[in-house]
Amino acid sequence: MERKIEGANGEGQENRELCLRQLESEEITQVYEICMRKDFPESELKPLSAIRQMLEAGIYDCLGLFEDTRLMAYGFFVTDWQRGILLLDYLAVCEPWRGMGYGGKCLDRIRDFYKGEKGILLECESLESGQDQEERFLRERRIRFYLDNGCVRTQVRSLLFGVEYEILYMPLAEERVDGAGELENLYRKMMPGDRYERYVGGIWRG
């Protein structure tokens, strides 16, 4: 994958074509090693081997947003194609291109890419569980970003690996779904057997 960082000031960017597509196997490895290790804390990052296992099982999808040949942003998803529901696992704009609107552009293209599915669930760390005002402010900004880009609140919460999440929903073919039930189904796909009971502290409405 060619990753050039010239033009980070945005000059001439508006005339370049954006393309969202599935990443190939080698590209997934490169995104993981070059981008994700910097973009996410180690505690939040699944092993690459776990991502590959889910890909092989047909319950994972990895997309990259490209401008010409440059990777601008990426999104990784847990999937249930039969039920038409996805869970956003990772979403990030690559470091040279942040603050230039590519996050919203990526979500727009994700919405179009998966338009035949029912919708996408998103986990956002809850405001109430933030340790201090700065952390709560950052979480509020993240939630506001998704709400400003067409997502809605579901009133569903989850406790996963000791972290409390507020669950949002991006409607695609269906405006509403059973958020709690669909989330449990996706969590059980991610963590089969006794792993679900070990790592999921609960899913509730409120």
Domains of the chain: 17-205 (3.40.630.30)
Residue 71 in contact with residue 3, Cβ under 8 Å?
Answer: yes
For residue 206, pLDDT over 90 is answered with no
pLDDT digits (tens, 9 = 90+) for 104-158: 999 999 999 999 999 999 999 988 777 788 888 888 999 999 999 999 999 999 9
pLDDT band, residue 15 (cuts 50/70/90): low
- Contacts of 177 by beta carbon, 8 Å cutoff, 6+ apart: 85, 118, 119, 169
Mean pLDDT, rounded, of the chain: 91
